[in-house]
């Protein structure tokens, strides 16, 4: 896929989401199992939108300046992941965009479930692009309401917690819907819309 400029407004979105995460983390306390080195959520591909892709690409560009060797390792992992995943990718492996058909959606459910994220440093168990990670990663752990109204939570967290406690710790990451507004502008400027995965976003053409 091509490089996508990150809009300035995304900085505000990240600040809002990170503040919501900090508040949810405080309320959740020991119910949260999230720690450096816990990498369960870093395995298995997942959809990201073009705003996430733009943020990741900026993060990689920044890492090239501050730590070129680490950036090279991220690029190598992304390139190797694209090579492994392309043959069965349920979309266009040239653009990196997933197909929007029901058949492609069903195929994606079984696609790359054991694949490590290219941003994950296997030697440290930490994310090399942590400050630029997708929104999905930023909200993972605390209870977050899904599209169907249920509260989703990491299976390692809140073990044995009563439903009332889970509800008390609910995270509301983007109460004003800023993400969708910024994403609409990104897609309009890019002249395309849809979803991709981290490996393709980091393997973008210059």
Q: Is residue 2 part of a domain?
A: no
Answer whether residue 103 is part of any domain.
yes
pTM over 0.85: yes
Per cent of the chain over pLDDT 70 is 99
Q: Which range among 56-60, 148-152, 187-191 shows the weakest confidence by mean pLDDT?
A: 148-152
Look at residue 4 and tell me if it is in a domain. no
Provide the 10 A C-beta neighbour count for residue 53: 28
pLDDT of residue 206: 59
In a domain, 1, yes or no: no
Of 202 and 149, more confident: 202
DSSP track, 12-74:
HHHHHHHHHHHHHHHHHGGG----TT--GGGBS---EEHHHHHHHHHHHHHHHHH-HHHHHHH
28-87 pLDDT, tens digit each? 999 999 988 999 999 999 999 999 999 999 999 999 999 999 999 999 999 999 999 999
What is the pLDDT at residue 148? 79
pLDDT of res. 151: 87
Given this model, what pLDDT does residue 150 score? 83
Q: How many domains does the chain have?
A: 1
Is pLDDT above 80 for 185?
A: yes
Q: Is 10 helix (H, G, I), strand (E, B) or coil?
A: helix
Q: Where in the sequence is the domain holding 156, given as residue range(s)?
A: 9-202
């Amino acid at each position: 896929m091509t490089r996508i400029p990150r809009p300035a407004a995304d900085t505000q979105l990240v600040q809002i989401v990170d503040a919501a995460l900090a508040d949810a983390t405080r309320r959740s306390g020991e119910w949260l199992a999230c720690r450096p080195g816990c990498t369960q959520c870093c395995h298995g591909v997942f959809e990201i939108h073009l705003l996430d892709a733009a943020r990741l690409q900026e993060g990689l560009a920044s890492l090239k300046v501050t730590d070129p060797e680490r950036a090279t390792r991220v690029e190598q992992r992304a390139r190797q992941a694209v090579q492994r995943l392309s043959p069965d990718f349920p979309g266009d492996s040239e653009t990196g965009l997933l197909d929007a058909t029901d058949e492609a959606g069903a195929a994606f459910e079984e696609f790359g479930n054991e694949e490590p994220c290219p941003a994950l440093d296997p030697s440290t168990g930490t994310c090399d692009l942590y400050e630029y990670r997708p929104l999905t990663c930023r909200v993972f752990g605390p209870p977050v309401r899904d599209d169907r109204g249920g509260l989703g939570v990491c299976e390692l967290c809140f073990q044995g917690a009563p439903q009332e406690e889970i509800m008390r710790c609910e995270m509301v990451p983007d109460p004003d819907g800023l993400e969708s507004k910024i994403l609409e502008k990104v897609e309009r400027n890019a002249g395309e819309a849809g979803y991709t995965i981290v490996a393709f976003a980091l393997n973008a053409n210059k």
